[in-house]
Structure 1
Amino acid sequence: MSRIDESKEFIPVRIAILTVSDTRGLEDDRSGDTLVQRLTDAGHVLADRAIVKDERALIADRLRGWIADPEVDVVISTGGTGLTGRDVTVEAHRDVYEKEIDAFGTVFTMVSFRKIGTSAVQSRATGGVAGGTYLFALPGSTGACKDAWDEILGLQLDYRHRPCNFVEIFPRLDEHQRRK
């Protein structure tokens, strides 16, 4: 089963937080605050933070900006993953993915199911990779952000996590774009 190998050195990751909301500002962005607190408590670096309206093009543009930024390794968005007409975060993420991490949504659903039962079917959490940057879209609730960080991302973004983790394959995420 998974574990932290204390003999390995922790490697901080630079993480940008994106809140997707038509109504929230930095002063009342509890889910964004939750993610910032957890990533910094873990020893990672907050690379940037933004709030954008629930508009597909705005979300995708913000993601592309961070993908192009060498100071951002990971983007975690919160909000806009539901089923209503305004929920377009998943579509915006998929507009920029080179590869989708299919199992992220599955594992998130498993974690959620233990907490909220069949209501977990309403989540469309997703993960992917583009330009050597990991991208994750989480629901807008603080509980969902806590669950995703505590039970998935906090572990996978820790280089010491075994048997494997996202950090150890950073150098190979964009190997297909390098010349041989």
Structure 2
Amino acid sequence: MSKTFFSLIAVCLALRVAGQSVPSADVQIKTAVLAAPSEKQAGAKVYGYTPDGTFGILRNGSNDFVCLADDPKKDEISASCYPATLDPFMERGRMLAKEGKNPKEIFDIREKEVKDGKLSMPKQSTTLYVLSGSKDNYDPATGALKNSYLRYVVYIPFATSESTGLPLKPDMPGMPWIMDPGTHRAHIMINPPKP
């Protein structure tokens, strides 16, 4: 009986510790929406993590924006937001990653599916906002993140350096450049200089 009792205590403590590594839904939402433009934050749909680590919807949205909370298993804080028109592309990537596909396989599968018309990409330019920061500057009790960094990824499917006039790499800090040109995932990278 004592072995069973102590085993139950050990399991309860382990679950409690595991649960503490995932901030509350409210805190995850607060941190996730920091990546969005201010006028989109209050109504954005937010995906995040339950105490057992399951990824899912933390808050349904009332506008056209989607935000992803920080993955508590990663070493750096990172949240991102984007228009809902980009969600099928993002969701497909998450599904393929969950199936164990590596980044190249995910790229190739989505490229084929977009070309075959099975996966939709927005017809217009669509911006992904990515907020990052150090865990040392993050308060998991409040969701506050000091000294954060915001960068931008503007998806423009199948655009090229020639069609945009953008270089394939930045010539100076903060200069926009095009990545994955000519593919479904062609995008303008905008990395503002860090202070």
The interval holding the TM-score normalised by the smaller chain is under 0.3
Higher strand content, 1 or 2: 2
Higher helix content, 1 or 2: 1
The two structures have a TM-score, normalised by structure 1, of: 0.26
The two structures have a TM-score, normalised by structure 2, of: 0.25
